[in-house]
Amino acid sequence: LVIATDAGREGELVARWIMEIVRWKKPFKRLWISSQTDNAIREGFARLQPGTQYNSLYAAAACRAEADWLIGLNVTRSLSCKFNAQLNAGRVQTPTLAMIVKREKEIKDFVPRDYWTIRADFGDY
């Protein structure tokens, strides 16, 4: 078996989930390329690595997926129950929204001040 999904966390996660579903227990290799040219693909197959070399990448992706699910599910449910409304939260969505709210507050609280631009001609100096 050669894993040839996208080179990165998410590609590794997709491949490993498929391997779990089919109960793959045999050794496997990993094709790691970032280009789809014929030459890059040939070079990638010439440099196949043992799949176990990417176990930490898989673990990182699995943790990210689990955190997304746990935070999204539990915090969304808690917010919706507490405020009796359909509210949602997420690992990326919530901090991003916080940054937008902070910036909106800065804009709202902005107090314009006079400023001047000085132009001077010092001749030959």
List, for residues 13-49, the tens digit of each pLDDT value: 999 999 999 999 999 999 999 999 999 999 999 999 9
Residue 15's pLDDT is what? 98
Residue 72's pLDDT is what? 84
pLDDT at 62 over 90: yes
Residue 89's pLDDT is what? 85
- Angle between helices 55-83 and 9-21 in degrees, nearest 10: 90
Q: With cut-offs at 50, 70 and 90, classify the pLDDT of residue 64.
A: very high
Whole-prediction pTM value?
0.67
CA 14 to chain centre: 15
pLDDT tens per residue across span 71-114: 888 889 999 999 999 988 888 888 999 999 999 999 999 999 99
H or E stretch including 50? strand 49-50
Q: With cut-offs at 50, 70 and 90, classify the pLDDT of residue 118.
A: very high
Residues paired with 3 in a beta bridge: 30
